[in-house]
Amino acid sequence: MASQDGYITMGGKVEAAYYVEEYGKAWQGTPGATEWLVETTKKMEPRARRTK
């Protein structure tokens, strides 16, 4: 997923999509990694995004 303007906003959806595109196969190829990620993120509290 590329941004329309060519930039990636840190913490944005485009950054997340880029990360998955680049590193998703490594996570999938590591036994137990995706399960760990799912369980770990379930416990996280949502954080508000900072505004300028």
Contact between residue 8 and residue 19 where contact means Cβ atoms under 8 Å apart: no
Average pLDDT, the chain: 85
The closest alpha carbon to 22, from 8, 35, 36, 42, belongs to: 8
Over range 15-40, report the average pLDDT.
93
Tokens 């993120």 sit on residue: 41
Q: What's the domain count of the chain?
A: 1
pLDDT reported for residue 10: 83
Q: Is residue 5 part of a domain?
A: no
pTM of the model: 0.59
Q: Is residue 22 part of a domain?
A: yes
- pLDDT bracket for residue 3 (50, 70, 90): low
Q: Is residue 2 part of a domain?
A: no
- The tokens for 42 are 């379930």
